[in-house]
Amino acid sequence: MRLPMRNHDICVVGAGYVGLVTGACLAEIGHRVVCVDSDPKKLKTLKKGIVPIHEPGLTEIFKRTVKNGRLSFAGSVLEGLRFKGRRAEVVFIAVGTPPRHDGSADLSAVEAVAETVAKNIDSYTVVVDKSTVPVETGDWVSKTIQRFNKSGTPYDVVSNPEFLSEGTAVRDFLKPDRVVLGVSSKRAETLMREVYAPLKAVVLVTDLKSAELIKHASNSFLAAKISYINAVANLCEKVGADVQLVARGMGLDRRIGPMFLNAGLGFGGFCFPKDLEAFYWISKQKGYDFQLLKSVQDINEHQKGWIARKIEEKLWNLEGKTVALLGLAFKPDTDDMRFAPSIDVARQLRSRGVKLRVFDPVAMPRAKKLPDFKGAHFAQDEYDAVKGADALAVVTEWPCFKDLDLKRAKRLMRTPVILDARNVFDPARARSLGFEYAGVGRP
């Protein structure tokens, strides 16, 4: 990869799924980066040279950039701004923006970082909001910096939303479909263009508010696509049609495209549910009742009950029965359990007296900490999970589950019932092996 014409000193605040990938990838393309995190345990892990999350390709870049000195870690924003005598010219805010009880985004961490940055800059600094935030957050960040920047040091605020997906985050960051820069000055635009120049990506420059809206509107649109196909799947189940064929037929239309048309158990994770909720909340606050978003949420909530509904149809009384859940992470290739549909499934089944045997290739250490999985048997592998089970339910479409030896699984189970909530198996084959099979929106 070509290095930038000008390398920059960059501070990334928040070393989570987004901040760590951002920091490591910016170091990979030639910048000098300090990742700051306020969690002492995470910081210790990072300083030991260990990547605390499961993200394909990240460890290699992490190790390389730490070794060549372009990626470092600090426990405070102050240290990050002045690392080893160098001044950070660009500060990325990549802290969490979790949902509050009323559905709005909790922006207190963003504010805290803005205040600390304001108090500690002494030369022109671009403060970049990378966290997902509601429209007009940039104005608040700017106001905050103005309030606490007693020295009057020049600064600019930029909105640079991140579109990476967990599981493909490194690739998404290094080969993005677009880089969105919401700016309020030419100076900030020039600096940010230099930062991203090595990616040779399409750069869309907008005003701050439009950039903020692009992120919420994009995530909500993708969530809507998922709910749409799940609603179609429900109709397919009622009339005996196959949602996979319907989705293929729809996806061949270039105006629609094939992605995000997989019917299943609904969406989860740290982004779609909270961003949808926050987008609805901010729209309403600004005077527009964005009802479509409510329907998207309602369909998703209904869909998360698919396994519990189907299992009652297949197993009659559930008290004391055993169900194997294959997959716990909210999607494959990540260990992220935040707002994973598996949590809803576990809660629904446990409340009906079902005993759980669960397996996930990487997310089990995180799942073990969650109360909804208390008492579940955390299995060694897929086959250990299905031992003695009255039904197996595919919750996350990890590629390894597609290749499950169904004959072997059947021998291990008490009754051969498959609830394929991610449509990974061939229904005809499963049935020919003697399974009772139910897939989402499939006859």
Ligand X SMILES: NC(=O)c1ccc[n+]([C@@H]2O[C@H](COP(=O)([O-])OP(=O)(O)OC[C@H]3O[C@@H](n4cnc5c(N)ncnc54)[C@H](O)[C@@H]3O)[C@@H](O)[C@H]2O)c1
3-state helix, strand, coil in the chain (%, to 5): 45, 15, 40
Residue 169: what are its φ and ψ, rounded to 5°? -60, -40
Cβ distance to ligand X smaller for residue 365 or 443: 365
Q: Are 93 and 133 in contact (CB under 8 A)?
A: no
When asked if residue 162 is in the footprint of ligand X (CB under 6 A), the reply is yes
The string of DSSP codes covering 198-239 is GG---EEEE-HHHHHHHHHHHHHHHHHHHHHHHHHHHHHHHH
Q: How many residues bind ligand X (CB under 6 A)?
A: 26
The stretch among 109-117, 260-268, 310-318, 350-358 that binds ligand X (CB under 6 A) is: 109-117
Cβ distance to ligand X smaller for residue 167 or 327: 167
CB of 88 to ligand X, least distance (A): 14
**What is the Cα–Cα distance from 379 to 359, expressed in whole angstroms?**
5
**Residue burial 71-106, b: 16+ Cβ < 10 Å; e: rest:** bbbbbebebbbbbeeeebbbbbbbbbbebeeebbbe
**And the tokens for 186?**
């030419």
CB of 354 to ligand X, least distance (A): 30
Mask for 21-60, x = binds ligand X (CB under 6 A):
---------------xxxx--x------------------
Task: Say how far residue 90 (Cα) sits from the centre of its chain.
Answer: 25
The stretch among 12-20, 148-156, 248-256, 398-406 that binds ligand X (CB under 6 A) is: 12-20
**What is the Cα–Cα distance from 62 to 125, expressed in whole angstroms?**
26
Task: Say how far residue 382 (Cα) sits from the centre of its chain.
Answer: 25
Which residue reads 């048309």 in tokens? Answer: 261
When asked if residue 216 is in the footprint of ligand X (CB under 6 A), the reply is no
The stretch among 158-166, 308-316, 382-390, 392-400 that binds ligand X (CB under 6 A) is: 158-166
Q: Of these, 62, 92, 267, 270, which contacts ligand X (CB under 6 A)?
A: 270
Catalytic residue, chosen from 11, 25, 35, 271, is 271
Reply yes or no on whether 271 is catalytic: yes
Q: Are 346 and 354 in contact (CB under 8 A)?
A: no
When asked if residue 134 is in the footprint of ligand X (CB under 6 A), the reply is no
When asked if residue 120 is in the footprint of ligand X (CB under 6 A), the reply is no
The stretch among 11-19, 241-249, 370-378, 426-434 that binds ligand X (CB under 6 A) is: 11-19
Q: Which residues pair with 417 in a beta bridge?
A: 436
When asked if residue 80 is in the footprint of ligand X (CB under 6 A), the reply is no
* Residue with nearest beta carbon to ligand X: 16
**What is the Cα–Cα distance from 114 to 442, expressed in whole angstroms?**
50
Q: Of these, 71, 91, 113, 263, which contacts ligand X (CB under 6 A)?
A: 113
When asked if residue 95 is in the footprint of ligand X (CB under 6 A), the reply is yes
Active site residues: 271
* Residue ranges in contact with ligand X by CB under 6 A: 13-19, 36-39, 42, 94-97, 109, 112-113, 131-132, 162, 164, 166, 270-271
